[in-house]
């Protein structure tokens, strides 16, 4: 079993889709993460239009960090057109055995590694065949190319379907003040019941929480959350990490920042314990309504 860090570095915006870090800056950021205890890195084949895995692999090689010191999560299944994949004619999902295995082989080459710690199916396909997924995962696990398997953005019934054929070790879902449904729709209950690691993507709403938005919904949400943050002398991002980390399912935030100081805020928040009453103050600010 891999030892995933509680705070995970999401690299989606480290490359072409965001900060556009060069190899040295990316290597420095990987080293910085490791120094503060963030040893798990979250990838997907499509990030940066199919370019970020390879850029990250280059940076990792330059860093000279031993492979065993880190854990790699990556995803497959979204067929997205990019300069690297001009033959894809329309965006769709592919969860066939052949595609899953090919995608892992490409990720291994890009990331310059011989194994993936956690492979995720990126999105549930309405036409996915669990037998195809199982055959791929069995083959990948027995060849040692993949250590653990999970899903992303799956509903509890979709997880149940796959989990009945092959152990699902993770469900990576969107959780933030903008997206609270996993707390009440059975997703986090199922993680606790079945021993599934919940990873929370876009904990800051992809940055929406800080953006200068004219959208009244976001403005009101930020205003309500800021009142609670101010009351306890927390920064807004610190408060959201405290909120996620308090849940008994051991949510692992996948932090999207490309700045080490901001990633460190997530790490430091692991040292603060909030009360249940404070958790509900944040919940109420996020939903905008008192609990019944």
Ligand X SMILES: NC(=O)c1ccc[n+]([C@@H]2O[C@H](COP(=O)([O-])OP(=O)(O)OC[C@H]3O[C@@H](n4cnc5c(N)ncnc54)[C@H](OP(=O)(O)O)[C@@H]3O)[C@@H](O)[C@H]2O)c1
Binding stretches for ligand X (CB under 6 A): 10-13, 18-19, 42, 122, 152-153, 172, 201-207, 210, 237, 254-259, 262
Least CB distance to ligand X at residue 200 (A): 8
128: tokens are 């996915």
**DSSP reduced 3-state for 276:** helix
Provide the minimum distance between the beta carbon of 11 and ligand X in the complex, in angstroms, as a whole number: 6
φ, ψ (nearest 5 deg) of residue 127: -115, 25
Q: How far is the CB of 207 from ligand X (least distance, A)?
A: 3
What is the smallest separation between the CB atom of 142 and ligand X, expressed in angstroms? 26
Backbone φ and ψ for 118, nearest 5 degrees, come out as: -140, 115
Nearest CB to ligand X, comparing residues 163 and 258 = 258
Please enumerate in sequence order all residues whose Cβ is within 8 A of that of 225, keeping only pairs 6 or more positions apart, or say none. Answer: 177, 209, 236, 239, 240, 282, 285, 286
Answer whether 88's CB lies under 8 Å from 51's CB: no
Q: Which is nearer to ligand X, 135 or 234 (CB)?
A: 234
Comparing CB distances to ligand X, the nearer of 178 and 279 is 178
Task: Give 39 or 172: the residue with its C-beta nearer to ligand X.
Answer: 172
Is 172 or 182 the residue whose CB approaches ligand X more closely?
Answer: 172
Whether 88 contacts 133, CB under 8 Å = no
Which 8-state DSSP code applies to residue 4? Answer: -
Smallest distance from ligand X to CB 88, Å: 18
Q: Which of 47, 93, 115, 241 is catalytic?
A: 47
Output b/e per residue, 276-291; b: 16+ Cβ within 10 A: eebeebbbebbeeeee
Contact 74, 116 (CB under 8 A): yes
For the question of residue 47 being annotated catalytic, the response is yes
Element (H, E) at 40: strand 40-42
Q: Token digits for 272?
A: 């603060």
Catalytic sites, residue numbers: 47
């Amino acid at each position: 079993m891999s030892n995933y860090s509680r705070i995970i570095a999401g690299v989606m915006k480290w490359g072409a889709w965001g900060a556009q870090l060069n190899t040295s800056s990316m290597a420095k950021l990987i080293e910085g993460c490791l120094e503060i205890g963030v040893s798990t890195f979250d990838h997907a084949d499509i990030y940066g239009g199919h370019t970020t895995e390879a850029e990250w692999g280059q940076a990792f090689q330059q860093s000279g960090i031993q492979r065993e010191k880190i854990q790699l999560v990556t995803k497959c299944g979204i067929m997205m057109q990019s300069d690297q994949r001009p033959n894809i004619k329309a965006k769709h999902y592919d969860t066939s055995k052949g595609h899953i295995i090919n995608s892992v082989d490409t990720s291994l080459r890009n990331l310059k590694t011989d194994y993936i710690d956690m492979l995720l199916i990126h999105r549930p396909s309405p036409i996915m065949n669990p037998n195809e997924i199982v055959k791929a995962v069995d083959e990948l696990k027995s060849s040692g190319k993949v250590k653990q398997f999970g899903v992303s953005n799956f509903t509890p019934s979709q997880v149940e379907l796959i989990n009945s054929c092959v152990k699902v070790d993770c469900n990576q879902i969107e959780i933030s003040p903008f997206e609270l449904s996993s707390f009440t729709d059975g997703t986090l209950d199922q993680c606790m019941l079945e021993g599934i690691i919940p990873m929370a993507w876009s904990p800051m709403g992809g940055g929406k929480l800080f953006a200068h938005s004219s959208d009244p919904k976001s403005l009101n949400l930020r205003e309500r959350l800021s009142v609670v943050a101010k009351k306890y002398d927390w920064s807004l991002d610190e408060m959201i990490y405290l909120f996620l980390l308090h849940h008994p399912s051991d949510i692992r935030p996948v932090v999207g920042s490309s700045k080490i100081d901001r990633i460190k805020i997530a790490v430091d928040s692991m040292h603060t314990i909030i009360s249940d009453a404070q958790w509900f103050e944040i919940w109420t600010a996020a939903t905008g309504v008192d609990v019944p």
